[in-house]
Amino acid sequence: MTGLGGLNKSKHGVVMGLVQLQLPEVVTKSDLAAQTRRICELVAKARRNLGTMDLVVFPEYSLHGLSMDMNPDIMCTLDGPEVTAFRDACRDNRIWGCFSIMEANPGGNPYNSGLIIDDQGAIQLYYRKLHPWVPVEPWEPGNLGIPVCDGPNGSKLSLIICHDGMFPEMAREAAYKGAEIIIRTAGYTAPIRHAWKITNQANAFSNLAYTANVCMCGSDGTFDSMGEGMFCNFDGTVLVEGGGRADEIITCELRPDLVREARAGWGVENNIYQLYHRGYVAVQGGAQDCPYTYMQDMAAGRYQLPWKVEVTDGTSCGFAAPTRTYAGPQANPVMAPTSMPLKKVA
């Protein structure tokens, strides 16, 4: 049930729009400024398009395009003009927004970052992509974990970016922290179409969560992104699916209250609970151990595959082999360390 794409909004509903944004080519600071204005225009379009819309989502690379250009002149900061414009657009149009930036990193390669901004212009979620799409993407691995924030109409939101969604652990972590709607933004091109669809559905079903997913769309003269925004129900079925029309806004009403009901009341296939309560019919409370060798090895710092991997850096895509090691996680400078209500940024 989607409320006819949000036309008929229910008391407990959250109406979302996914923008299948036309893939831009951004080379200069003036290109960046023009694309910033374009995104802000589409925030206004989303508000005009559907008065019931709570949150509009823009894809990964919507501001910078797919060039992988690390030119410092077109990198962004949280207090820079691009993010300021996005905050103003959300406040002026009284709508929440989800945005993508390539973020300057004085200590290394830029971060591929995402922001959720509320309808008062405050940043409510700040995330750096944990899993850049190697070996193609040069971005620094994210170091802020997978945050969750309070969203419109009492919802709980998280954001994962593109390749992140190919790792079931990412959506599981978001749901474990309470996310009821897992947003996935991407710049994917056609070869990933099948994997895109099945992982969006699997991430929803295995975590009893909605997933709201959108790619860039159209061609920049070199690359062809596929659009294909899609909302998946918490039973894994597709609620609404877009095609390949650039700048189309795909809309749907989601019901976080039904996610909460399923998570509390489902016995069969309540997998996020049953992961740690194996066989609770046979033994009281179920088995509460960690039988997964890869989890044990990751935690102990000894993760190693039983086969040889040939591609382990970005040289095949023209990037020099790195010489730095990962510095480790850091505290999120915007968000509280838990999924409790978050402080707003002035």
Query: Domain of 249?
Result: 3-274
Contact 103/110 with Cβ under 8 angstroms?
yes
User: Which residues of the chain, if any, have pLDDT below 70?
Assistant: 1, 337-346
Name the residues annotated as catalytic.
Answer: 60, 129, 162
Count of structural domains within the chain: 1
Beta bridge partners of 186: 215
Q: Is residue 312 a part of any domain in this protein?
A: no
State the DSSP H helix or E strand holding residue 298, giving kind and residue range, or none if neither: helix 293-300
| Residues 68, 71, 136: CA angle, nearest 5 degrees | 20
pLDDT score, position 39 = 98
Is 63 inside a domain boundary? yes
Edge-to-edge strand order for the sheet containing 148-150?
Answer: 148-150, 156-161, 181-186, 210-215, 230-232, 238-241
- Assign residue 284 a region: left if phi > 0, alpha if psi is -120 to 50, beta otherwise? beta
Peptide bond into 135 cis (omega under 30): yes
Give tens-digit pLDDT for 192-251: 999 999 999 999 999 999 999 999 999 999 999 999 999 999 999 999 999 999 999 999
Residue 299 lies in a domain: no
Q: How far apart are CA 276 and CA 203, in angstroms?
A: 18
pLDDT of residue 318: 96
- Would residue 285 count as lying in a domain? no
Domain for residue 328, yes or no? Answer: no
For residue 290, what are the β-bridge partners? none
Contacts (Cβ under 8 Å, ≥6 apart) of 22: 216, 217, 218, 246, 247
CATH number for the domain that contains residue 67: 3.60.110.10
Within-domain flag for 266: yes
Return the pLDDT at 337: 66
DSSP 278: B
Is 307 contained in some domain? no
Task: Supply the Cα-derived Rg of the chain in whole angstroms.
Answer: 20
For the entire predicted model, the pTM comes to: 0.95
The answer to whether residue 200 sits within a structural domain is yes
